Structure 1
Amino acid sequence: MNTFSNRKQCLTLLKQVVLVAPFAAPLFAMASPGSDAIRTLAQDDWVQRSVSLADMGITNPVVLQESDNHQSFFLPVPKGVALDAASINIQGDFIKGEEAAAALRLSVDSRPLHAQRITEREGDLARVLPVEARRHESGFVDFTVDWSSPSGQTLCEPTRQSSNILTLSPDTALTYRYSMQGLHTLADAWSTLPGKPVILIAAGKLEQQSFDSAWRLGVALERNAKRAQVRAFPSVGETVAVDGLKIPTALTSVAPFSALAGKTQHKVANAAELGALLVLDASATRADLAIADTALVGQINAALDALQDQLKNDEDAVKAVQEWRSRHASAAQKVPGSQQIQLVSLGHQAVIAVAADAGAKAAGVFDSHWRNVLVSSEATISQAGESGDASQREMRVSALGGSTTAFDVVTRGEWTAVFPLSAVAVQGRMPGELVLDVAAAPGASSTLPVASVLWNGILLNAKQLSADGQPERLTARVPGYALGVTNNLQVRFQRQPVSPNCAEIPQGYPVNVLPTSYLRSSDAEPDGTFVGLLPLLAGNAQVIVPKTALDNPAANLRQIIRLASAASVSPVNAELTLADSSQVFKPTKPFLSLDVPVDGAKPLIDVKDLQRLRAGGDEKRLLDLTGPQPLSAASVVDSNNQHGVIWYALGDQVLTPRAPFVFNQGNAVVLGEEGPLTWVDSSNPQLSQSMGLSETPFHQWRKYLAWVLPLFAASLLVLLVLGVLARRQKKKQGL
C-alpha cells in the first residue's frame, strides 16, 4: 500500500511540474543577468556635472598675498533643480614666510566649513568641501576663501602684502549630479551646460540647413563664455574610445557588449555595437545639444533597433532595452517640428534638441536677455532677434552684472562686472564710450580718494574724487584692443587711511558706482583694421565657406565657430554662403571668408598652395616660409566694395585654435593651435615701409588726404571759375 501510495504521489507531482513548466519559462527569462543589468542602467537617471574656475574663464592661478584676503567665487548651478552628491574639490598650495601662523577659512554659501591655523612652511591645499543637497534659487554656489596673516603689532597699521601666500588652482571645481527627472525646463537645461558643451550632429555628409544651424548654435555658446565642441554620431568602421566605459559584469559576456570590454579603443563592427555604446553612455555618443534632423534621429534609432535584433533570443533583454529607450532615448522618438527646440534625453544626458531650421532663432532665444522665459520643455520660435533697440545706443552698466549698492573702503576696494563680448556687441555696433557716475563719502584723511577705471586690466581713466557724497562722472573711450571674448570692467577705489599716533583704528567709508552709469556703443568706422571691422561683422554679415565643408562637417564647424566668434559675427543676423573654393567669389555684404578667394582681395598675409606662408606684397616680400604646420592666417581685405576678413589654412589639417580670442589688433594675424601667434599692424610706419605698403612720409596721413585732397581740388576749381567770371565781368564793364 505504501509503495502504491508513493507512486501515486510521484505521478501527481510530475503532472504539476508538467503543467507549471510553460509558466516557469518566462520566470527564468526574467532572471536573465543581461536583462537585469540593462534595467539597472535604465533606472539610473543621474546626470553628472562639473564646473571649474577654468570653465568660468579664470585660467590663471588666483594668488592671495595681502595680510587680509577675502575672495568669493560664484559657481553656476541650475536654479530649479536639487543638487545631489555635490562637493567642491579645492586644488592649490600655500607658502608661509612669516613667523606667526596664518589663518585659513573656507566657506560654502556663507557657512564656514573649514578653519585651520597654518604653522607649516608650505603645504598642499587639496580639500573636498561638501555642498548642501538642495535647490539653489540664486543659480550659484558661493565658495569663499579667507586667508589672513598677522600684519603688525598695532591695529591701526594698514594692510600690506605678506610673505604668507596662498595660491588657488584654476582646476578647483564644483562637482554635482542631478536627477534627469527633476529637469523640466529649457532654461534650466541651458544653465547646466558644462564649460565645453558638445553639439551632436549626424554622421556623414550634413545637409546645408543642419550645418547652418550647428555653427550658429556654436557661436551662441561661445558668446556665452562656453567652448563649443562638435561631434558627429559615430558610424560603422569608426574607431572610438571605450576606456572609460563602465560595463556591468553581467553584460561582459553578452554580445555586442562583450566586444567593448577590456579595451581602450574599439573599431565599430556593426550598428548593434553603436546601440551598445548608447546604452553604456559612451563618450562617443554623449552630447549636451543636438541638431536633431531626420538623419541623426534615424541613425540613433537604427543603432538601437540593431541592438534589439541582436538580443532577440533573450526576450526579456529586448524588453529591457525598450524600457531603456523610453527613459533615455527620447531624442529618437520624433524629429522636432519646424523652428522648434526641445528638452530630450540621450544616454545619461539631458540634451537640448534643435530643429534643423531653427539655428538662427535658437541662438536668439538663448541670448541672456530671453533664455529665462524658456520655462517649458518645448518651444516653437516664431521670432527671436538680438536684444536691444537698433536706435538705442546706451546700455546701463548695471545690466552687465555690476552691483549698484554702496560698499565701504578702508584702503582699496574694487567694483567689478564680468560679461561676454556678445552682451555689448549688438545691432552691428561695438563698445565706444564708457560713462561712469560714482560717489564717495568724505573720509578721515585730507587726501582725496582716487577712482581708476580698467577694462580687461587696461587703464582707461582715473580721477581724484571730491568725496563730498555727490555724483561725479568719469568718461573713457573703449579702445578695440581692450576687448576680449570675456570682459572684466573694474572701478578701483583707493583711500589713504589715517590714525594719528594709532589713537584709533582706520575705518572704511562708503563709495558707490551709481545706476546711472552706462556704456555707449559706436558705429562701424572701417579703417583697414580688425577693430574698425568688428561692428560691421556684428551686424548683417556674410560667412563664406567652401561647399566641401559639408563633407567633413564636424572639423569644419569647429573652425567656423571659433573664427566667427573671434570676428564677432552675429549668429542671428549673419548669412551662410556655400561657395566653390576654386572660383573667385564676390561678396555682397561685410564678410568672413574661410578658404574661399574673394575678388580683388590683397591680404597682407596669405597661404600659397597650402604649403607656403607669405607676408608682404610681391615686390617687397617680407616672409616666404615653407614647413611649419598646422598654421593659418587671417587678414583684413576689401572686395567688391565690401570690407571683410579672409582666412587661409596652411596644410591639409583643419586647425582649430584651442583658446578663444578676438580679432582686436592690427589688420593681419598668424594663428596656431594655441591662438594668435603674431599680429601685423600695417599702420606701424616701420613695418608698413618694410612691407612696401608706404613709399612716402605722408603714409600716416592717408586717411585724411583721402578726403582733404578732393576737397582742396574742388575748392581750387571753384576759385578758378569765380576768377574767370570776375575777369569777364570787368571786361564787360570796360567796354
Structure 2
Amino acid sequence: MNTLLQCQPAPSFRRLFLAAAAAVVPLLVSAQPAPAAQGTSPADVFRRMSADNWIPRTVTFADLGFTGPLVLGYPDTLREIYLPVPTNVPLANAALQLDANYVRADGGRTTMILSVDGYPVSARPLTAERGDASLALAVDGNPRPSGFVRFNIDWRTAVGRENTCADARTPGNLLRIEPTTKFTYRYDGSAVRDLSTAWSSLPSTPTILVASGKLSTEAYDSAWRVGVALERAGKRPVIRALPTVGDTVDMRGVTIPAALRSIPAYAGLTEGGPHKIKDAAEIGALMALGAAGPFQADIVIADQSFAGAMGGNFEALKGQ
C-alpha cells in the first residue's frame, strides 16, 4: 500500500474537502427548493469558501513555552522574543497585544521601550507606583526570511541626575508580562509553494489527521515519523482520526450558512454544542465546511483507507 504524506498548509486541506463537495453540490441543489431571500445557493457557499485562502494565526507567549509571567527588573531589564511566522510570506493584519502590569517601589524615571525587528515602535514613561502596561501594537507585514518576528522589550529606570552620584539599582521596579500576550496575523496560503515554507507555517500545536484509530503499518510509520520531527522542532502535535458515525462533535462556534440548511445533512447541524453524528452524510457535510467546521488539520496522512473513507462520506452526502 502506498502512503501519501501531505504536508500541506490548512487551505490545501480545506480544498481537499471543498473540491469533493463542489462535485456533489449541483446534485444536491437540483433536489432542493430554491434558496430564499438571500439568493445564495449551496454551490455559491462552497465556491466562496474555496476561494478564501487566508489563514489566521495566533501565537501566545504560552505557546512559546512561557508557563508563567515574564518578569523584567534590575539587572535583567531586556528581553528579545522570537515570534514564528511562515518564511518569506507576507503577513496581513499583524498585531501584538502586550498584556502587562508594573510596580515601581524605587521611583526614578522609568521607560518601557518596545521594538520590532530592531526598530523602536513604542516608548512610554511610567510614573505611578503601580499600573497597567498593556499595549496594542501594529506590526508591518513584510516577509521575514528568517521565519521570525523579533520582539524586544526594554524596561529601564534612570535614578538621580546626570551630575550627581546615586545608586542606579532599582530592584523594586518590575514589569510583569503575562503569558496571554499574543501575536496575531493572517497569511495567504497560496503564497506557500514549497515544503520548507509549509513546515514553517505550522502552528505550535499542529493537528495530524489519519484515517482511523487502526492504521496500516505504512500510515502508522508516517504519522509517527512526522510526530517525532514536529516534537524535535518544538511543536506539540495532536493526532486525530476522521470522525465516524456515533462520534460526538463540538459545534460551538460553528455557523452553518443559511444556504446549506436546506440540505438534510446540514439540517441537524445548526444547533451549537455537542452533536452526535448520525450518518456518513453528516460526516461529509462537516468535512465540506473545511476550516469553517469543527474538523481542521495541518498535516494529512493520506493512504488508501483515508481516501476510501473520504470518498464514502461524500458519496453519502451526494446520495441524499
Instruction: Give the shorter-chain TM-score range.
Output: 0.7 to 0.9
1:211-226 equivalences under 5 Å are 211-226=220-235
Aligned residue for 1:38, secondary structure, equals: helix
Which whole-Å CA distance do the structure 2 matches of 1:250 and 1:267 have between them?
Answer: 22
What whole-Å deviation, never above 9, does each CA across 1:521-575 have from its counterpart, x for those lacking one?
Answer: xxxxxxxxxxxxxxxxxxxxxxxxxxxxxxxxxxxxxxxxxxxxxxxxxxxxxxx
In the superposition, relative to structure 1, how do residues 308 and 84 fare at CA in structure 2: closer, same or farther (>3 Å)? farther
What whole-Å deviation, never above 9, does each CA across 1:617-653 have from its counterpart, x for those lacking one?
Answer: xxxxxxxxxxxxxxxxxxxxxxxxxxxxxxxxxxxxx
2:296 paired residue among 273, 286, 289: 286
In the superposition, relative to structure 1, how do residues 140 and 302 fare at CA in structure 2: closer, same or farther (>3 Å)? same
Q: Which sits farther off after the overlay, 265-274 or 64-73?
A: 64-73
Are positions 1:192 and 2:201 aligned together?
Answer: yes
Which whole-Å CA distance do the structure 2 matches of 1:29 and 1:149 have between them?
Answer: 68
Aligned residue for 1:162, secondary structure, equals: coil
What is aligned with 1:130? 138
CA contact (8 A) 2:98 2:181 kept: yes
Which whole-Å CA distance do the structure 1 matches of 2:262 and 2:317 have between them?
Answer: 15
AA of the residue aligned to 1:302: G
CA contact (8 A) 1:67 1:159 kept: no
Aligned residue for 2:319, secondary structure, equals: helix
CA contact (8 A) 1:52 1:173 kept: yes
CA contact (8 A) 1:68 1:148 kept: no
Are positions 1:271 and 2:280 aligned together?
Answer: yes
Q: Note the C-alpha offset of 1:186.
A: 0.6
The structure with the larger Rg is 1
What is aligned with 1:248? 257
AA of the residue aligned to 1:304: F
AA of the residue aligned to 1:136: R
Q: Note the C-alpha offset of 1:141.
A: 0.6
Are positions 1:239 and 2:248 aligned together?
Answer: yes
Which whole-Å CA distance do the structure 2 matches of 1:201 and 1:124 have between them?
Answer: 46
Which whole-Å CA distance do the structure 2 matches of 1:137 and 1:225 have between them?
Answer: 19
What is aligned with 2:85? 77
What whole-Å deviation, never above 9, does each CA across 1:46-83 have from its counterpart, x for those lacking one?
Answer: 11222222222232321111278222112121112111
AA of the residue aligned to 1:232: A
Aligned residue for 1:290, secondary structure, equals: strand
Which whole-Å CA distance do the structure 2 matches of 1:260 and 1:149 have between them?
Answer: 57
1:65-144 equivalences under 5 Å are 65-66=73-74, 69-144=77-152
Which whole-Å CA distance do the structure 2 matches of 1:130 and 1:304 have between them?
Answer: 42
CA contact (8 A) 2:157 2:170 kept: no
What is aligned with 1:230? 239
1:701-720 equivalences under 5 Å are none
AA of the residue aligned to 2:187: Y
What is aligned with 2:42? 34
Are positions 1:179 and 2:188 aligned together?
Answer: yes
Which whole-Å CA distance do the structure 2 matches of 1:104 and 1:65 have between them?
Answer: 11
AA of the residue aligned to 1:300: M
Which whole-Å CA distance do the structure 2 matches of 1:227 and 1:239 have between them?
Answer: 24
1:366-515 equivalences under 5 Å are none
Aligned residue for 2:101, secondary structure, equals: strand
Which whole-Å CA distance do the structure 1 matches of 2:148 and 2:202 have between them?
Answer: 14
Aligned residue for 1:260, secondary structure, equals: coil
What is the count of residue pairs matched by the alignment?
284
What whole-Å deviation, never above 9, does each CA across 1:442-481 have from its counterpart, x for those lacking one?
Answer: xxxxxxxxxxxxxxxxxxxxxxxxxxxxxxxxxxxxxxxx
Which whole-Å CA distance do the structure 2 matches of 1:282 and 1:299 have between them?
Answer: 21
TM-score normalised to the size of structure 2? 0.80
Q: Note the C-alpha offset of 1:102.
A: 2.1
What whole-Å deviation, never above 9, does each CA across 1:21-48 have from its counterpart, x for those lacking one?
Answer: xxxx9xx969444333232222211112
TM-score normalised to the size of structure 1? 0.36
1:259-658 equivalences under 5 Å are 259-280=268-289, 281=291, 284-310=294-320
AA of the residue aligned to 2:144: H
Aligned residue for 1:307, secondary structure, equals: helix
In the superposition, relative to structure 1, how do residues 298 and 144 fare at CA in structure 2: closer, same or farther (>3 Å)? same
CA contact (8 A) 2:109 2:159 kept: no
In the superposition, relative to structure 1, how do residues 96 and 246 fare at CA in structure 2: closer, same or farther (>3 Å)? farther
Q: Note the C-alpha offset of 1:114.
A: 2.4
What whole-Å deviation, never above 9, does each CA across 1:691-728 have from its counterpart, x for those lacking one?
Answer: xxxxxxxxxxxxxxxxxxxxxxxxxxxxxxxxxxxxxx
In the superposition, relative to structure 1, how do residues 261 and 127 fare at CA in structure 2: closer, same or farther (>3 Å)? farther
Which whole-Å CA distance do the structure 1 matches of 2:143 and 2:49 have between them?
Answer: 26
Which whole-Å CA distance do the structure 1 matches of 2:114 and 2:317 have between them?
Answer: 50
CA RMSD of aligned residues (A): 2.5
Which whole-Å CA distance do the structure 2 matches of 1:124 and 1:258 have between them?
Answer: 47
In the superposition, relative to structure 1, how do residues 192 and 124 fare at CA in structure 2: closer, same or farther (>3 Å)? same
AA of the residue aligned to 2:314: L
CA contact (8 A) 1:234 1:284 kept: no
CA contact (8 A) 1:57 1:225 kept: no
Which whole-Å CA distance do the structure 1 matches of 2:212 and 2:227 have between them?
Answer: 18
CA contact (8 A) 1:78 1:191 kept: yes
Q: Note the C-alpha offset of 1:178.
A: 1.0
Q: Note the C-alpha offset of 1:230.
A: 0.9
Aligned residue for 1:257, secondary structure, equals: helix
AA of the residue aligned to 1:177: R
Q: Note the C-alpha offset of 1:226.
A: 1.0
Aligned residue for 2:43, secondary structure, equals: helix
Q: Note the C-alpha offset of 1:195.
A: 1.1
AA of the residue aligned to 1:181: S
What whole-Å deviation, never above 9, does each CA across 1:156-192 have from its counterpart, x for those lacking one?
Answer: 7675243121011222222211112111111011111
What is aligned with 1:52? 60
Q: Note the C-alpha offset of 1:252.
A: 3.9
Which whole-Å CA distance do the structure 1 matches of 2:191 and 2:318 have between them?
Answer: 29
CA contact (8 A) 1:271 1:303 kept: yes
Instruction: Give 5+ residue unaligned stretches, structure 1.
Output: 1-24, 311-735
AA of the residue aligned to 2:311: N
Q: Note the C-alpha offset of 1:232.
A: 0.8
Are positions 1:62 and 2:107 aligned together?
Answer: no
Which whole-Å CA distance do the structure 2 matches of 1:303 and 1:125 have between them?
Answer: 51
Instruction: Give 5+ residue unaligned stretches, structure 2.
Output: 1-29
CA contact (8 A) 1:68 1:159 kept: no
Between the two structures, name the one with larger relative contact order (CA 8 Å, sep ≥ 6).
Answer: 2
What is aligned with 2:14? none
Q: Note the C-alpha offset of 1:86.
A: 1.3
In the superposition, relative to structure 1, how do residues 138 and 216 fare at CA in structure 2: closer, same or farther (>3 Å)? closer
What is aligned with 1:679? none
What whole-Å deviation, never above 9, does each CA across 1:368-415 have from its counterpart, x for those lacking one?
Answer: xxxxxxxxxxxxxxxxxxxxxxxxxxxxxxxxxxxxxxxxxxxxxxxx
Aligned residue for 2:171, secondary structure, equals: strand
Which whole-Å CA distance do the structure 1 matches of 2:199 and 2:168 have between them?
Answer: 42
Which whole-Å CA distance do the structure 2 matches of 1:219 and 1:235 have between them?
Answer: 27
Q: Note the C-alpha offset of 1:284.
A: 4.5
What is aligned with 1:10? none
